[in-house]
Structures are given as structure tokens and as C-alpha cells.
């Protein structure tokens, strides 16, 4: 059994097609198919089901792929230790980011990373926190930008910055927008018709905590993205809470349909951190965290390492 054979098996799992898997692995399809047969003969189990419609993993194949991903991730960790000890963040690096952060942080982070580490080959994957942590544990991500805290079993985390929340309300079209709207009170938040993200978004729970609510009202809208919430607020359906980076991005974009009011109090912010697998890629993660703290816009408060 070789790492190359495991890599081909993972390619099949990712693409569900021999031709596409072979192209992704950079080999001819007969080569990939032959190596996969060799792996099946060695292990004594069928790993994939082949049919005219395509290919899919067997139950045994699904279990083995999980271990194969981890083995390949450890191989990459070994290579980073030996090749990039003097210069971290060179070569391929897979970074995850939650959807309520990525579009608003990456425009400042990516140019800073390119300048600080020009040899970095970065791939960014955007997904919900639980999905990103699963990809991280399986070795399909090297690190992830998420809201803390998260469970750290087998993982390490470095806090990067604190990001305040803004209450976003429909603007009164009969009055000019104020230069600086006052902070919103707990009583006002409690009385507002709250618009929140759908289940699975960590920001949903943080917003409900900031508003001291166990759950939104049964008739409230639940959106899949901050941009959907933005349009619902602008249309007058209610109030929502958004992180500072998103709020300032909307304001810089000339948003005039809504008012932005800071949320005060202990629950009026979230903490963003970098999470990676314990004992792997420490130098890369440390370098990435340093760039993240230096690159954050002035609207958030970086946390000293």
C-alpha cells in the first residue's frame, strides 16, 4: 500500500468519476484504475462500485478514505517541516472561512498575504463552522477562520480579533441619515422584530445571545446569508445584527437604505480566531495569524499574540 494509491482513492472520493479523478491526480485514467485495483487486492476488499453511471465508494471505501485523508495530511505536514522550516507559508495551503467573515475580511487579508508570503499557493474554502472543522479534522484543510470558542479536541486555536455587532434598521425615508446613530439599548433589541440567519450559522446563536433571546419569533424571517438579511432590512421587514466588518463594508459601498447602530454590552461582539490541527503546521499557522492581525481593518480590535 502506497501514499500514491491512497491519493488516487481520495481523488475518486472527491470527483466520483475515474476520468475527472485521473485528471485531478495528473495521471492517465488506466493508470489510476490499475493502481486502485492493486490497492483493493492488497487490502482484500472492494473500495469502489463501478457502473456505467459512474463510480461510488463502498461502505469499506468510505471508512478507508477517512484514514487516507489523514495519512495524506500528515505527509504534507512532514514536507512542511522539512522544506519550509525557514520560510513558512510556501506552497499549497488550504484555508477555510465562515461565510459571515470571508467576504469582508479577505479583501484586506489576501493582498497582505501575497505581499508577506509571495510563494504561498492559497486555496480558500467558505463553509459553515461545523463543516470547516470536519474538513480540518479530515486533513482537507490546513486551517480555518472561525468564531471562537470551538471545541479544541485535537485542535489548536489562536484568537485574532474582536469584532463588534451593529444593529441594522430600515432608514426613515422622510428624514436624512444621521452622521452617527446612537447605540441601541437592550430594551430596544428585546422589542425589535429580529431577522436572523438560518440554523447552522454560528452568528445566529451569537446574535440571539446578544439580544438575550432563546430563539427568534416563529414568524421571523431566517436567511441563508447576510446579503439576504440586508435586503430584508432595507425592505422594512425588521432589524438584524451584523458584524462590524460587514456593516462597514455596506456603508463604504454607499448603503443609504438603513441605519447602523453599535451594540453595547458584554455580548455585543464576537471573537474571530484561527484553528488548525494540533501538532501540525504550527509555523504556518503562527505566520498566518500574524498577517491576519496586521491586516484587519481599523473597525475591529486585534488581539496581541
Cell output for 26: 495528473
- Cβ proximity of 193 and 238 under 8 Å: yes
The arithmetic mean of pLDDT across residues 181-192, rounded, is 81
- Whether pTM > 0.75 for this model: the answer is no
Question: What's 247's DSSP letter?
Answer: H
CA 119, chain centre distance (Å): 22
C-beta of residue 90 within 8 angstroms of C-beta of residue 22:
no
The set of cell numbers assigned to 10 is 481520495
Distance (Å, whole) CA 160 – CA 154: 20
pLDDT band (50, 70, 90) for residue 92: confident
In sequence order, the β-bridge partners of residue 274 are 145, 158
164 vs 189: CA distance, rounded Å: 15
- The pLDDT tens digits of the residues spanning 106-126 come to 999 999 999 999 989 899 999
Instruction: Please state the rounded mean pLDDT for residues 7-31.
Output: 90
Mention every residue, 6+ apart, whose C-beta is less than 8 A from residue 304: 293
Q: What is the rounded CA–CA span in Å between residue 118 and residue 96? A: 19
* Residue 169 to residue 176: CA distance in whole angstroms: 14
- Cis before residue 149, ω within 30 degrees of 0? yes
Strands (E), the chain: 48-51, 54-57, 91-97, 120-126, 143-148, 155-170, 196-197, 222-223, 240-243, 258-262, 269-277, 301-302
Residue 274 confidence class, pLDDT cut points 50, 70, 90: very high
**Are 30 and 21 in contact, with CB atoms under 8 Å apart?**
no
Residue 261's DSSP bridge partners are 167
pLDDT at 219 > cutoff 50: no
Highest average pLDDT, of 83-97, 127-141, 219-233, comes from: 127-141
Cβ atoms of 54 and 20 closer than 8 Å: no
Looking at residue 201, its pLDDT comes to 78
Residue 301 and residue 245 in contact, taking contact as beta carbons nearer than 8 Å: no
Mean pLDDT of 274-293: 93
Q: How far apart are alpha carbons 73 and 76 in whole angstroms?
A: 5
Residue 94's Cβ-side half-sphere holds a number of Cα atoms within 13 Å equal to: 17
Compute the distance between CA of residue 124 and CA of residue 160 in angstroms, rounded to an integer: 18
Amino acid at each position: 500500500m502506497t501514499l500514491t494509491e491512497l491519493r488516487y482513492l481520495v481523488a475518486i472520493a472527491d470527483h466520483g468519476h475515474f476520468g475527472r479523478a485521473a485528471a485531478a491526480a495528473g495521471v492517465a485514467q488506466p493508470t489510476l484504475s490499475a493502481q486502485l485495483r492493486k490497492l483493493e487486492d492488497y487490502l482484500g476488499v472492494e473500495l469502489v462500485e463501478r457502473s456505467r453511471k459512474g463510480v461510488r465508494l463502498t461502505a469499506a471505501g468510505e471508512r478507508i478514505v477517512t484514514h487516507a485523508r489523514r495519512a495524506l495530511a500528515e505527509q504534507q505536514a512532514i514536507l512542511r517541516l522539512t522544506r519550509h522550516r525557514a520560510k513558512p507559508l510556501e506552497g499549497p495551503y488550504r484555508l477555510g472561512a465562515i461565510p459571515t467573515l470571508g467576504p469582508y475580511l479577505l479583501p484586506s487579508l489576501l493582498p497582505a498575504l501575497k505581499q508577506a508570503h509571495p510563494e504561498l499557493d492559497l486555496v480558500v474554502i467558505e463553509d459553515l463552522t461545523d463543516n470547516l472543522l470536519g474538513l480540518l479534522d479530515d486533513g482537507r484543510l490546513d486551517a480555518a477562520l472561525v468564531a471562537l470558542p470551538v471545541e479544541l479536541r485535537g485542535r489548536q486555536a489562536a484568537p485574532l480579533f474582536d469584532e463588534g455587532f451593529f444593529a441594522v434598521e430600515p432608514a426613515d425615508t422622510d428624514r436624512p441619515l444621521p452622521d452617527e446613530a446612537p447605540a441601541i439599548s437592550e430594551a430596544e433589541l428585546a422589542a425589535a422584530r429580529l431577522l436572523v440567519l438560518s440554523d447552522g450559522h454560528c452568528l445566529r446563536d451569537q446574535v440571539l445571545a446578544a439580544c438575550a433571546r432563546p430563539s427568534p419569533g416563529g414568524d421571523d424571517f431566517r436567511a441563508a446569508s447576510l446579503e439576504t438579511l440586508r435586503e430584508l432590512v432595507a425592505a422594512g421587514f425588521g432589524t438584524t445584527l451584523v458584524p462590524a466588518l460587514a456593516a462597514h463594508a455596506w456603508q463604504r459601498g454607499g448603503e443609504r437604505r438603513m441605519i447602523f447602530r453599535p451594540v453595547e454590552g458584554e455580548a455585543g461582539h464576537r471573537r474571530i480566531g484561527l484553528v488548525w490541527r494540533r501538532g501540525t503546521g504550527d509555523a504556518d499557522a503562527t505566520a498566518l495569524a500574524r498577517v491576519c492581525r496586521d491586516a484587519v481593518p481599523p473597525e475591529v480590535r486585534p488581539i496581541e499574540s
